[in-house]
Chain A
Amino acid sequence: MSETIAFELNGQPVRVAAEPGQRLLDLLRGPLRLTGTKEGCAEGECGACTVMVDDRPINSCLFPALEVDGREVVTIEGLRGPDNRLSAAQQAFADAAGTQCGFCSPGMVLTATALLNENTDPSDEQIRDALVGNLCRCTGYVQIVDSVRIAAEHLRGES
């Protein structure tokens, strides 16, 4: 039996029906038509489905949709920087070729954003550590780490 839940999605209030046992991933990609969130492994290994719930990145493939009732959800579609431009992480991934096929990029960018919210001067080791739950099957990890480092420099006002 479905239940109506209310939450904040990318800054806007939404009311939507969710099913028991439904994954947040399916609620976002289905009724809410936000297909930037990707399904990769469906078991919490690959991070392609990463979204923010109350400012924390989670795997939406393992998160019951009903649990976002009353919370704030941000997907890649809702991520933006000041003046409505791309965020530092989004811009750096574009500039430094952190994106190849693009499938892992929404999750990568959101996880990187969570790291940068806590630490604007991460070492390469800290960047790789933060991204252990995000797999890139193009294996473009060098450019991805570069992108996060560049985004951090930008946030520190160094570029």
Chain B
Amino acid sequence: MKTRAYHRPRTLDEAFALKREAGPDARFIAGGTDLMVGQQQPATLISLRSITDLAGIDVGAPTKIGALTPLADLLANKEIAALYPAVTQACHTFASMQIRNAATVGGNLCNASPAADLAPPFLVHGARVGILGPDGAREIALEEFFLGPGRTALADDEILTHVLLDKPAPETRAVFSRKTRVRMDIALASVAVLLELGDRVCRKARVAAGAVAPTPLRLTAVEQLLEGKRITPKLMADAAELAKTCIAPVDDIRTSADYRRRIIGVYIRRALEELCA
């Protein structure tokens, strides 16, 4: 299908009115780096790029990241790098400079790829997402936002407006890593781990993985295994083994389910080693 109409509303009200008029054939578009690939374009596109209220980063308790914030801006933000290094790591390895200048935080989540790079670090930081529709606003946990590959909790006429991240407690450390063959690849598997350590004892653990299930997911069993314990090499190995049983990877053109299972174990062990070093 060819796009017959491309609207550039300046306000959310205008965007909702355009959507109501155009119906289900219309789609909202942000940076376009996913939607502009390929020839199957929606008949009507409603661009959110001119709605300036939707972009911007406000670090605080919680931290608010506008859905239309380009990845490049998230990468360049020094306060984000200081408080959320795993988020900055995910931005750094996110595609290329050209893609990061166009692609948006909200677009990466709404595209709902199981391999979305921002999902694991956001999940370990307790992300909630703000959703606005013609009938009002709601907020849900990021875990509840992803329903499957390409599927989210957004209704057809709703817009993701922002992401909220918990302010990390002192002594929180977090790391993100992803496995690819070459840098521009989509992640074969990705991991984010957050630990809050006191006297070498793990007070809080958050573990999330990407590209190993229909959605990015938290590995809550692994979190429970780690919490309240001293993190020893034995516990790291146990966590890595347990992680392999919490995921549902598939064989696809990029790699096998078996490899994904193995690499998740390795990456979780390495993340724990790095955070406890």
Contacts and interface: CB of A to CB of B under 8 A. Distances in A.
A63 to B, nearest CB: 6
A63 B8 contact: no
Given A67-B49, A132-B184, A56 B37 contact: no
Interface stretch (A29-37, A42-50, A81-89, A146-154): A42-50
B85 interface: no
Interface in A84-141: 111, 114-115, 130, 132-134
A56 B272 CA distance: 37
A23 B38 CA distance: 12
Interface residues of B, number: 26
User: Which of B8, B33, B37, B101 counts the most A-chain CB atoms under 10 A from its CB?
Assistant: B101
B102 to A, nearest CB: 5
B96 interface: yes
Q: Is the interface of B mostly helix, strand, loop or mixed?
A: loop
User: Which of B2, B3, B36, B183 counts the most A-chain CB atoms under 10 A from its CB?
Assistant: B36
Given A1-B4, A133-B96, A23 B101 contact: no
B5 to A, nearest CB: 5
A48 to B, nearest CB: 11
A114 B76 CA distance: 14
B102 A59 contact: yes
B62 interface: no
User: Which of A45, A56, A62, A63 counts the most B-chain CB atoms under 10 A from its CB?
Assistant: A62
B3 A58 contact: no
B36 A63 contact: yes
B95 to A, nearest CB: 7
A11 interface: no
B8 A69 contact: yes
A100 to B, nearest CB: 20
B101 A44 contact: no
Nearest to B95: A133
Given A62-B32, A63-B36, A45 B184 contact: yes
Contacts of A145: none
A59 B99 contact: yes
Contacts of B49: 67
A61 B102 CA distance: 12
A63 B184 contact: no
A78 interface: no
A43 B45 CA distance: 19
B95 A58 contact: no
Given A64-B32, A66-B8, A132-B184, A59 B98 contact: yes
Interface in A51-65: 53, 56-59, 61-64
Contacts of A132: 96-97, 183-184
Contacts of A13: none
A50 B98 contact: yes
Contact of B72 (A1, A21, A56): A56
A20 interface: yes
B4 A58 contact: no
Contacts of A45: 184
Given A20-B6, A67-B47, A69-B8, A43 B97 contact: no
Given A20-B4, A114-B97, A133-B184, 19 more contacts: A21-B2, A21-B3, A21-B41, A44-B37, A44-B95, A44-B99, A45-B184, A50-B98, A56-B72, A57-B101, A59-B33, A63-B36, A64-B32, A66-B6, A67-B47, A111-B97, A133-B97, A133-B98, A133-B99
Interface of B: 2-6, 8, 29, 32-33, 36-38, 41, 45, 47, 49, 72, 95-99, 101-102, 183-184
20 contacts: A1-B5, A20-B3, A21-B4, A42-B37, A44-B96, A47-B96, A59-B33, A63-B36, A64-B32, A64-B36, A66-B8, A67-B8, A67-B49, A130-B97, A132-B97, A132-B183, A133-B95, A133-B96, A133-B184, A134-B96
